[in-house]
Structure 1
Amino acid sequence: MKPLPYLIIAFLCLSCSNKKTSTNKESEVQHDIVGTWKMIYAEIKKNDSLEVKNLSKSSFIKIINNSHFSFFNQDELDARNSYGGAGTYSVKGNQYVETLIYTSAEAIRNHVFTFTIKIAGDTLIQSGIEEVKKAGIKQEIIEKYIRIN
């Protein structure tokens, strides 16, 4: 019995199961981002000022499934200060792009926001420039979330 056919079959099986293409890596990143995330830190840079969001009296969560995202901010002291939004997203490498479709803020409805993301364990870091001329928004953000589901 010649071992060569068995070696060829073993080689083919191993090469197929261990090979990672960029598409597989992108799918892994998209799969890693799916879940429910709670914001633990946020900073906003406008011109020469820096604002760190006070999260001690509010809860901000982001929910991401395979094709859509949503976010909700609940002010624990005044429900009138609560807001939310939702839409579609895509991930390519470390680029995360949201299209905000559902929001009460008409000036940013259907706007596309591009961010850089990093996922390390149960932590998601999202950063980028938010610019919506129609709404008078131009700011750099860094948001950190922990996975809660």
Structure 2
Amino acid sequence: MKRKFLTIACSGLTVLTGLSSCSTETKKASLVGTWQLIAATATENDSTYSTFSPGQNMIKVINDTHFAFLNHPAGGTGDSTQAFSAGGGHYTLADSAYTEHLDYFADKAWEGRSFDFVIEIKGDTLIQKGVERIPERGIDHIIMETYKRVKD
């Protein structure tokens, strides 16, 4: 009976990090889908600032083994090729520890690196928090991104 309750609790997963008894496979199933970025911040040297602008349009697509993201300014008639970015790769997930292994990115200095995050899923919201560090580029900050699940 206790096992059935855990299965029900896992399938109704609301907080990814709060149910450590749920299998990684159940959590991975909750993560799979298309996500629209709705907020993003970075923290450097005790200063937190928004890295998301209302004119930004970014999605992240996650399947069982890989992720990809596409980002560009929304609307407008100007040339957005300079502002477009995309990347992707494979990921690992253990409980709430989510690591992106960036195999492809518009900026080659980011490729071949891994970034560790803690993720939390609350209903149709995904919160991803972790460190981006590329010493040779002077990048060393904590990021937090909030996504809403895209419905069909």
TM-score by length of 1: 0.81
Q: Equivalent residues in 2 for 1:21-36 (5 A)?
A: 25-36=23-34
Q: 1:18 to 1:48 in 2, by over 3 A?
A: closer
Q: 1:134 to 1:56 in 2, by over 3 A?
A: same
Q: Is the 8 A contact 2:41 2:52 kept in 1?
A: no
**Alignment length, in residue pairs?**
135
Tell me how far apart the structure 1 counterparts of residues 73 and 89 of structure 2 sit (CA, whole Å): 22
- Provide, for residues 17-74 of structure 1, a one-character-per-residue CA deviation record: whole Å limited to 9, x for no partner: 6676x78521111110000000111001121332213431110110000100001111
Q: 1:29 to 1:16 in 2, by over 3 A?
A: closer
- Which of 111, 114, 117 aligns to 1:112? It is 114
Tell me how far apart the structure 1 counterparts of residues 49 and 4 of structure 2 sit (CA, whole Å): 47
Structure 1 range deviating more: 46-55 or 83-92: 46-55
- Provide, for residues 88-141 of structure 1, a one-character-per-residue CA deviation record: whole Å limited to 9, x for no partner: 001100000000001121111010000000001000000011111133210011
Tell me how far apart the structure 2 counterparts of residues 53 and 118 of structure 1 sit (CA, whole Å): 20
Tell me how far apart the structure 2 counterparts of residues 61 and 19 of structure 1 sit (CA, whole Å): 32
Is 1:93 the counterpart of 2:60? The answer is no
Tell me how far apart the structure 2 counterparts of residues 49 and 27 of structure 1 sit (CA, whole Å): 36
Structure 2 unaligned residues grouped into runs of 5+: 8-19
Which residue is 2:58 aligned to? 60
Identity, in percent, stands at 33
Select the structure of larger CA radius of gyration. Answer: 1
Runs of 4+ with >3 A deviation = 14-20
Higher helix share: 1
Q: Is the 8 A contact 1:95 1:114 kept in 2?
A: yes
One-letter identity of the residue aligned with 1:75: P
- Provide, for residues 1-27 of structure 1, a one-character-per-residue CA deviation record: whole Å limited to 9, x for no partner: xxxxxxxxxxxxx6776676x785211
Q: 1:88 to 1:130 in 2, by over 3 A?
A: same
One-letter identity of the residue aligned with 1:97: T
One-letter identity of the residue aligned with 1:128: G
Q: Is the 8 A contact 1:114 1:129 kept in 2?
A: yes
